[in-house]
Amino acid sequence: MGLGTFVRNRAAGGFSHQAPIVDPTGKAGAVPFAQNFDNWVQGRQPQVGATPAQASVNLDTAPAASIAPTSNKPESSAEALKNRVIGEVIDREQLFAAREIPLDASNRDEKIWDRAGELAGRPSFQEFQRGNAEFNQILMSMPGAREHAEEIRGHVDAGAINFSQLGNTEQGAVRGLDLDDRIKQVDGLKRQRLIDLAVDAVDPNASNKTDKIINELNQFDQDTGLRRWAEQDTVLNRLDMNIPDRRMAGEAVYMAVLDGDININDLNPKQFGALKGYKEDNSFRTQEDIKRLAGDKIDQVIGNGVYGVVYPSDNPGYVIKAQGTTGLKGLPHENRPASGEAEVNAILEAEGLHMGPEIKSLTTKPNGDTQIEMRDISENYANYEDYVDSVTADTSLTPQQAGRKLSGVELKLNRQLAEFADRGFILNDRHRDNVHVNKMTGTPLNLDFGLLDKAGEFQQLQAIEQFVGRGFEAAGMQDMGVILTDTIVGLANKGDMAGAMDVARQGLAKLKEIDRPLKEDLKLFDTTPDFGPNQALGMDLVNARIDMEHPRHRTTVSPFIR
């Protein structure tokens, strides 16, 4: 039984009955909840002046308090159950509303409350509620609801009816039952952990051992300090990540801390526990994905990114980059599509520019996982950050010599990216781990061609102009870059795209004639936070200058932020 048997009618202060749930097999059967629901929930009315529950607003994993009855008379158990369920439904509506209201909005609580009322009155939202697992799970405690949902699920499990043939209401009832079972399982595992801890805390040889274990469990329930510990326990919170709402709360805390919206030291115990559980669960999910991709080479994994893992090939001098059809589970891009075949094709598009790795083979498995076999560069190359560190730490070089050496890398990198843009491709995600530098020659090599854009005419013009301009800057010819940019922009603004592109390509041709910087670019060492596009390569994140989409740095080597 789901929310399909009723529709919110705030104007009337209650619910209006719709068609009752029927047995999906066509057989007659008692459905007490469907028959008695009108009387059971009749007269629903939120308490006047009640404070809007904030649920996800406060990043609190605990459900908000149920709406209290308006009468001073003692509640019957049925009335208490009705009020609790009604309150939980209202809380969930407010949770959906809260996602639409900006965190910095004035009078946010009131706006959430009003928006929740608007949503609840919409037929489209009511239809969503009927099929939603979380809304239906709330109803599983009501008389007859679980039994009816179990009956429907039994028909599906027995093959008497296909799940896809069920109506939205019946599908919602099954989803709610499945979620309720999962919650009960998780809560049971959490309770078992407390039991295990209680057992460990009692001397196995003690008299009245059972009574002492029960006493330990009671302390978990009653002692404020122990409750705070349980709220922050990593194992208990990781178990919670199996429940969508609790995982969502953990993710909300994680993102708020990551984005700097809240200081980790200001988290309350529940929030801190949710953060720990979310991070631990993500780490576990990532490792499971890595094990799947690496197979029997799991103990030889060289490293992993957000899309795949790298391990030695059976062919000496080569490595395998294995990845799935999306990013690794538990990492920021776990739902973003990935394609090994597309990446290989992108590298082949750059052939002749000496900017990508040598590819030996591509293998695609039946499940879509791919294995790209490429030349192992670890012996002769260092990632960009390590290369910069080694140059700046080299006491045999003067600051000017070190600056010229790094400027030479920048010159070559921007020339590569400009030439690739001239072929119609914009290579994104250039950060410290995706750009490696030959330790002997200072020649950059680009890894990970997964985030590649096929440029339109205007994008291509912008990319060539930007990369060529930065190339001139790295060569010590910043004035040339400024003149080039002004000329291209002036022609483009007049609508002369062909003329602008011709000038951009003339600039690229001149840049290709420059083998090394004419003078060092000392701006590479400037650590002033507001130094714009010339932020230092020597910072903790080298990609301040070369990354195109890092969330901490809005300066880019290209005008395109994905």
Strand order in the sheet with 359-364: 303-304, 308-312, 318-323, 370-375, 359-364
DSSP-based helix, strand, coil % in the chain, nearest 5: 55, 10, 35
**Three-point CA angle 453, 455, 456, nearest 5°:** 145
Closest residue by Cα to residue 431 from 385, 391, 484:
385
pLDDT, position 73:
55
Domain spans, the chain: 3-183, 186-287, 301-375, 381-544
558 within 8 A of 467, measured Cβ to Cβ: yes
Name the amino acid, one letter, at 205: N
pLDDT, position 75:
60
Distance separating alpha carbons of residues 306 and 331, to the nearest angstrom: 6
Residue 251, both tokens:
């993710």
In the chain, count H helices and then E strands: 18, 12
301-375 topology per CATH: Phosphorylase Kinase; domain 1 (3.30.200)
Which residues are 454's β-sheet partners?
Answer: 425
- Give DSSP secondary structure letters for 533-547: GG--TTSSSGGGTT-
| Cβ partners under 8 Å of residue 148, min gap 6 | 1, 21, 31, 33, 34, 173
What backbone phi and psi angles, to 5 degrees, belong to 361? -160, 165
334 within 8 A of 327, measured Cβ to Cβ: yes
Distance separating alpha carbons of residues 512 and 418, to the nearest angstrom: 10
What pLDDT, in 10s, does the model give residues 292-335? 999 999 999 998 888 889 999 999 999 999 999 988 888 877 77
1 within 8 A of 142, measured Cβ to Cβ: yes
pLDDT, position 51:
40
What pLDDT, in 10s, does the model give residues 191-217? 888 888 888 888 888 888 888 888 888
**Three-point CA angle 506, 510, 511, nearest 5°:** 115
The burial class, CB within 10 Å (0-12 / 13-18 / 19+), for 77 is exposed
Which residues are 363's β-sheet partners?
Answer: 371
Please state, as a whole number, how many other Cβ atoms lie within 10 Å of the Cβ of residue 303: 11
- Using CA atoms, how far residue 47 sits from 7, 13, 66, in Å, is 19, 11, 10
Name the amino acid, one letter, at 419: E
480 three-state secondary structure: helix
Closest residue by Cα to residue 71 from 61, 81, 79, 62:
79
Helix or strand holding residue 283 (H, E): helix 269-294
| pLDDT < 70 regions, the chain | 1-76, 519-562
Residue 512, both tokens:
């290709």
76 within 8 A of 122, measured Cβ to Cβ: no
Distance separating alpha carbons of residues 539 and 527, to the nearest angstrom: 7
